[in-house]
Chains A and B, each alone.
Chain A
Amino acid sequence: MDIFLTVLVFGLLLGGIYGLVSIGLNLIFGVVRIVNFAQGELVMFGMYGGFFAWHWWGLNPYLSVFLVAPLVGLLGVAIQRLVIQPLQHEPNMQIFATFGLLMLFQNLMLMASRGEAYSVGGQVGSTVLEVGDLKLSLVRVVTLLAATLITIGLHLFLSRTMTGKAIRAVTQDKRAARAMGINVEKTFLITFGIGAALAGMAGVLLTPIYSITPAVGGNFILAAFAVVVLGGLGSVWGAYLGGLIVGIVEAFAGFYIDPVLRSAVWFVIFLIVLVVKPSGLLGQVGAEEVGFREQH
């Protein structure tokens, strides 16, 4: 029972990481349905930003996040304006273009760093909380908390603010949204910017956990798509739940089946959900069609 609980808690904390890196993609793919394979690289940029802020100025990642996340957000705005917007109606070309960006960013970083892995030093990464018999890594607890808070924030943003409502309106019907006086292009820019900034934020917050390499984004991208689809497209809480599910499944599969197979297990679950219920666990029926229908 003890072991079971330990694995469960470990899985929950891992789920926090998956949830955190998926929040940005949830906005970009889940809500406005832009296929962005370069999302993991935005997380990677966030990580490098966090690392260099620490390396050059000694900034704690939990402080530098307020500097780095907006910068990654700006990069996102540039990507949306230059690459995504011309391909607004062509999801297949979005796949090509964003996969190209993935290769470009990853290898630019490889050229710059020459393949050397970085990690943020200091005490933060190794601090352990003891709750009863359980030993919890402090940064992982913070990550889960951050994922929870950001999810609440995103939920409030999408449901309560005018901008959030505009974002959802644009997804559902561009033409009607435009007729209501919503600036569709601007809304897409804002959405992609926020989604990218959230990825950057996730990256910075993960710097104490992961060692930073150019290919680190590859750990997250399929997981993020899986989380978003699993939870339910367009559902903010669905993505949160999806993240936890993926984390817990990975922890249990890794412990009870085989560490090598741990990601294969949730991939298979993801594929089953994708095929049986493409709208995801908490998504509305037909959600997978919204945003990909013919619209001008």
Chain B
Amino acid sequence: MSSTDTGNGIATGPAATPGRRAFPAAPASEVIASARRAWLTYLGGMALAFLPFVVFVNDAHWLNIIALTYLMGGLAASWNIIGGFGGQFSLGHGVFFAIGAYTTAIFVTRWGVSPWATMIPTAIFAACVAMLISWPTFRLRGPFFAIATLAFNEVAFVLANHAESLTGGPRGLSIPFRAGLANMIFRDRWAYALLMFGFVALVIALSVWLRRSRLGYYLLAVREDEDAARAAGINVLAVKLKGMALSAGLTAIGGTLFTMYLRYIDPPTLFTLPEVGVKFALLALIGGIGTIWGPLLGAALIVPFENWLRSAYADSLPGFSLAVLGLLMVLAALFMKRGIMGLVEDLLKRTRRKP
């Protein structure tokens, strides 16, 4: 594979479009890997991700952070499906997250339905909503799409505040503590961490599958050059919609888990951009947008770091943790567009070239 190949099967010359390629190419090894190798890498990576759980299994403080890291990693990886593979920068994933959270909370509190039962129908519902609102907005390109999704997030925020009979409005909804596997409420923190690990393992497995599937290649083609993809006979809108549906459905599952973990939700928790919609994208950016492991890697670095910043400076310097995250975001956009995965890949390339 020559160095001018982008690794996506779409060869472009070295002089071509530094501008348009806002997205890093996936590491070359992923593309040539056989199915067996891809799944072995998956197992190895997940085993590595499981390690902190094993080490801290008796430490409630760390288990909380680990559970949150797995959850955010899974959510960032869900965003990555349409944002990274598909190149559609949604900042409105808070909407799907909130659909998962509210639907589950409403069914649990009103009718005592088990969250396990609501999880999949909720995800399908969120996927349908996602397709419905994306169908018109997918006409928009680049920043216009991002702004439109941001507006959806705001509309949903206002509606959630307004629909008091359904969402509890600004007071929010809280779920009574009734421990039990069927209720998805646990006394022990390790059970939550395990649950979140299951979520991120599912999302990354789907990413591995997607990356090797026809739909995955179509998404990459759309990301790289929408017009060329269309000219090559790809139904661009259908591909984007499928990617969005998958991404939104998984995000809604994350919302369900989040609700059962926190047992209290209100509009600011679900729609605040730096904490939800933009956070998913930020974690993916830090780790490496459009890569399989980037989102989890980003979460593994940022979630504990932010947690530490918060506990260390929340009283003395309010806002310090978000200021640091903001600065990191600027620096990553400027100097680390391909995230940590990109850095690693560059290092590997450099060492390989040396005899």
Residues in A lying within 8 Å of B, measured CB to CB: 35, 83, 86-97, 99-111, 114-115, 214, 222, 225-226, 229, 258, 260-261, 263-264, 267-268, 270-271, 274-275, 278, 288-289, 292, 294-296
A-B contact pairs, 8 of them (CB 8 A): A96-B330, A103-B322, A105-B326, A111-B320, A225-B150, A261-B162, A264-B154, A289-B141
- Enumerate B100-148 residues with CB–CB distance to A below 8 Å: 136-137, 139-144, 146-148
Residue of B17, B20, B137, B325 near A275 (CB, 8 A) is: B137
Q: Known: A88-B19, A103-B274, A264-B158. Contact between A274 and B140, CB under 8 A?
A: yes
Contact A103 B326 (CB under 8 A): yes
Chain A residues in 8 Å Cβ range of B155? 264, 267-268, 271
Alpha-carbon distance A104/B87, docked complex (angstroms): 26
Asked if B332 is at the interface (CB within 8 A of a chain A CB), the reply is yes
Residues in B lying within 8 Å of A, measured CB to CB: 17-20, 22-23, 87, 89, 91, 136-137, 139-144, 146-148, 150-152, 154-155, 158-159, 161-162, 273-274, 278, 281-282, 285, 317-320, 322-323, 325-334, 337
Chain B residues in 8 Å Cβ range of A267? 151, 154-155, 158
Count CB-based A-B contacts (< 8 Å).
155
- Max chain B Cβ within 10 angstroms of own Cβ: one of A92, A97, A260, A292: A92
Those 9 A-B pairs whose CB atoms lie nearest each other, nearest first: A89-B19, A103-B326, A100-B329, A110-B319, A104-B326, A107-B319, A107-B323, A100-B330, A97-B333
Contact B146 A101 (CB under 8 A): no
Alpha-carbon distance A278/B137, docked complex (angstroms): 10
Main secondary structure of the interface of A (DSSP, over half): helix
Q: Known: A83-B334, A93-B22, A263-B158. Contact between A108 and B140, CB under 8 A?
A: no
Q: Known: A222-B154, A264-B155, A271-B151. Contact between A97 and B146, CB under 8 A?
A: no
Main secondary structure of the interface of B (DSSP, over half): helix
Chain A residues in 8 Å Cβ range of B152? 271
B288 to chain A, nearest CB (A): 13
Contact B319 A275 (CB under 8 A): no
Chain A residues in 8 Å Cβ range of B281? 96
Q: Known: A96-B281, A96-B333, A222-B150. Contact between A115 and B144, CB under 8 A?
A: no
Q: Known: A108-B323, A111-B318. Contact between A271 and B148, CB under 8 A?
A: yes
B74 to chain A, nearest CB (A): 21
Alpha-carbon distance A99/B281, docked complex (angstroms): 11
Q: Known: A99-B278, A260-B161, A264-B159. Contact between A92 and B142, CB under 8 A?
A: yes
Contact B151 A270 (CB under 8 A): yes
Alpha-carbon distance A96/B331, docked complex (angstroms): 10
Contact A91 B142 (CB under 8 A): yes
Contact A111 B319 (CB under 8 A): yes
A271 to chain B, nearest CB (A): 6
Residue of A89, A109, A114, A288 near B144 (CB, 8 A) is: A288
Residue of B17, B285, B327, B333 near A104 (CB, 8 A) is: B327
Q: Known: A92-B89, A107-B320. Contact between A83 and B148, CB under 8 A?
A: no
Alpha-carbon distance A208/B101, docked complex (angstroms): 40
Contact B19 A108 (CB under 8 A): no
A263 to chain B, nearest CB (A): 6
Chain B residues in 8 Å Cβ range of A95? 89, 91, 143, 146
Contact B19 A274 (CB under 8 A): no
Alpha-carbon distance A226/B152, docked complex (angstroms): 12
- Max chain A Cβ within 10 angstroms of own Cβ: one of B17, B148, B328, B331: B148
